Amino acid sequence: MASGEFLYLDIFHGDIKPQNVLIYEEAESLCAKLSDFNYSCFGKSEEDLVRLPKSKPWYAPEYFSGEIKFREAKLKDIYSYELLCF
């Protein structure tokens, strides 16, 4: 998760927040993995609409509607990921 590789794929998680991150020890270091993929989606057209939750304060403030375009949903994940890492 630290590298954020998923942010460069045609996939979005949809609900990145601390409650959806599992942290465990692996090879004497800590490893974080995302969980709760109920809102995740991949392989859609950039214009397809997807429904996302509003987990305050983890969603981007410019998204007021529950449905946004797939390409915008990926940007929302980047915003949420940055907040999580901060």
One-letter amino acid for residue 2 of the chain: A
What 3-state class would DSSP assign to 32? strand
Q: Which of 7 and 38 is assigned the larger pLDDT?
A: 38
Burial class of residue 6 (count of CB atoms within 10 Å of its CB; 0-12, 13-18, 19+) = middle
Sequence-ordered alpha helix ranges (H) in the chain: 70-85
Q: Which of 62 and 31 is assigned the larger pLDDT?
A: 31
Q: Which of 55 and 83 is assigned the larger pLDDT?
A: 83
pTM of the shown model: 0.76
One-letter amino acid for residue 62 of the chain: E
Q: What percent of the chain has pLDDT over 90?
A: 14
Q: Which of 66 and 28 is assigned the larger pLDDT?
A: 28
Tell me the domains of the chain and their CATH numbers: 5-85 (1.10.510.10)
What 3-state class would DSSP assign to 20? helix
Given this model, what pLDDT does residue 17 score? 92
What 3-state class would DSSP assign to 77? helix
Given this model, what pLDDT does residue 20 score? 94
